Amino acid sequence: MMERRPNPSSTIDPSRSRVLIVDDSEDLHRLLRARLKHDELEFESAYHEQEAFEKACSWSPELILLDLSLPSEDGLVLLRRLKDDARTRDIPVIVLSAHQAPRYKVAAFDMGAVDYVTKPFELIELRVRIRSALRMHQLIQMLAQRAQVDGLTGLWNRTFFDKRWQEEYSRCQRHGHPLSVAMLDIDYFKSINDNYGHPMGDQVLQSIARILRQNAVRESDLACRYGGEEFVIVMPDTNAIEAAVVCERIRQAVAEARWARTPDMRVTASVGVVGASGPVKISAEQWVELCDKNLYNAKHSGRNRVVVTDLAGTTTLSVRHAA
């Protein structure tokens, strides 16, 4: 008997919605791929529970079609596992099942399924239910993203930072990847508002946001508005020395910025940086607190400078003075 093997795509087409099919019937996989091939869907297959969970975590589908009759356990057990894990809980799941008894439907919906389709099903009906689930998922994602974006600067906000920072910290601890975080504060920002007005202060904040975007090393770098005139930058796969170079470039760009409506105004920023080349012995919260302490030291040692701590080996502090 020929071994069944999933046929994962070598590349992901961003124009297609990713759908993970979880069913032990290869005929069903072939049927759905053939009959829905014109529906702008990218399919991946899983035939048993562990394979399905691993692909849900690594491939991040936008929808899961889940059969309740799986080889080694009830599909409801997998559904509960998906909804209990932070990596997969927000993926919508449509249950496909030959069970028509209300108790199965109630259990599936109670565990977080968005729909329940009984076998045998009409393909046109399944197509409509898939479209509806994907449309709702996209709307929810859009609302969630707007709730995590700062309205003035367009950067991510503090809520988003808190979530992503925990994820990047865990990744650093688990896999040993370098990681750095920087906190930037605009010097004498209150005097800018007092002397030039709050609209000018808002313009400065928006300009700082543009500078942060332009000076990010990679797309994976994450710039957020932390609150008020304070910003935070998460730099995955970046050690303290590399992060210091990035932040010095940002500091210089801020200092060199000129303001057409107020040519006499000068804006500078102070930056605190903490980085590591691998796992650390401090918590994610302590890491941010140390970064805030470095920012405090930068402010109180003259402003317009970068203070850096390298957590690798012996902790050292370096101060980069303005030119």
Answer whether 291's CB lies under 8 Å from 226's CB: no
Residue 235 CA: distances (Å) to CA of 9, 46, 224, 304, 323: 29, 34, 12, 21, 25
Q: How far apart are CA 117 and CA 224, in angstroms?
A: 42
Active site residues: 229
